[in-house]
Amino acid sequence: ATPMSLTTGIGKGAENGILIRSGEALQIAERLNTIVLDKTGTITEGKPSLTDVIPLGRFTETEILRIGASIEQGSEHPLAGAILDGAKDQGVTFVQVVGFNAIPGHGVEGVVEGKRVLFGNLKLMRKEGIPLADLQTHATRLADEGKTPMYLAIDGEAAGIIAVADTVKEDSADAITQLKKMGLEVVMLTGDNERTARAIAKQVGVDRVLADVLPQDKAENVRKLQAEGKKVAMVGDGINDAPALTQADVGIAIGTGTDVAIEASDITLIKGSLKGVVSAIQISRATMRNVY
Ligand code: ADP
Ligand code: MG
């Protein structure tokens, strides 16, 4: 492509809410064959809300929500926000937490009402050796509905599940269909559990899912795809995604996401929509064919 057509291509992008940082990014985008999509906030809206509270044994629903919401007061995770908002709506009285600690990719822990509380995913429960009894059946059902179940353990005993759900963005499925028609392989990359991830992937037509990925391992997963010979674009919105955005051949940030993700990227989609990924690649292909 000539410098003139690269400038025109970047201009075309800007007209469509696609900020392309360099002519180089535009040139590389033409050779992409794999699009890796973060789930939460990229395929979905990233605004989860509380859907289910399931108590086990002698615990009550109110108790599970009070303790689960209280322990999340110290967390900045979007899942925590969903639980706090849901609990407030239900008039829950929050209690104090001592020794709060966030365990990245797993959940949170602390002492509530004198009891040791663990709250998070299956990985966390396994790591702490909590027997799950009936809870896993409930968790499986919720995950198959595309919800994210979180386990609550009190003093080493499984006490209940709290689930949240996030809405798929209205044009995610359309955009993914188009990307596949353009000959690109689409992969989902998420810290969420495999079952939930697969349920969401099915809704939007993604065939390959990399789930249960720890925040620090997202970039490594991109690197592995590159080692398979793939030219990879990573699309993400979170602080978690920044190293993977940098590692990818082309990093694409969702403009409504975090500044950290935007700074780590070559392209920013001002509108949150994945249709922007389709447009960016179309512009790149047209530019390289000197259509402009
Ligand atoms: P993602 O942002 O892709 O969901 P994370 O690595 O932040 O990935 O989280 C992975 C999983 O760890 C979550 O789906 C959840 O099950 C658990 N988790 C993380 N943070 C919390 C939290 N504050 N409370 C409960 N569970 C959490
Ligand atoms: Mg995200």
- Model confidence at 178, in pLDDT bands (50, 70, 90)? very high
Dist. CA 241–CA 258, nearest whole Å? 10
pLDDT, tens digit, 9 for 90 and up, residues 127-174:
999 999 889 999 999 999 999 999 999 999 999 999 999 999 999 999
- Measure CA 103 to chain center: 17
Instruction: State the closest ligand 1 atom to the C-alpha of 120, by its place in the atom list counted from 1.
Output: 26
Query: Ligand 1 centroid to 224 CA: how many Å?
Result: 23
Query: pTM score, two decimals?
Result: 0.93
Question: In the chain, pLDDT over 70 holds for what percent of residues?
Answer: 100
Q: Which residues are catalytic?
A: 38
Give tens-digit pLDDT for 78-136: 999 999 999 999 999 999 999 999 999 999 999 999 999 999 999 999 999 999 988 99
Task: Give percent of the chain with pLDDT exceeding 90.
Answer: 94
Q: Which domains occur in the chain, in start order?
A: 3-45+168-288 (3.40.50.1000), 49-165 (3.40.1110.10)
Greatest alpha-carbon span in the chain: 71
Do residues 179 and 278 make contact, with C-beta atoms less than 8 angstroms apart? yes
Q: Which residues surround ligand 2, an ion (CB under 5 A)?
A: 38, 40-41, 237-238
Mean pLDDT of 43-56: 96
Confidence tier at 199 by pLDDT (50, 70, 90)? very high
Q: How far apart are CA 103 and CA 121, in angstroms?
A: 11
pLDDT at 2: 87
Taking CA atoms only, the protein residue closest to ligand 1 atom 14 is 192
Summarised one tens digit per residue, pLDDT across range 249-273 is 999 999 999 999 999 999 999 999 9
Average pLDDT of the residues of the chain: 96
- Residue with tokens 């969420």, as numbered in its chain: 192
Give the ligand at the shortest distance from the Cα of 142.
1
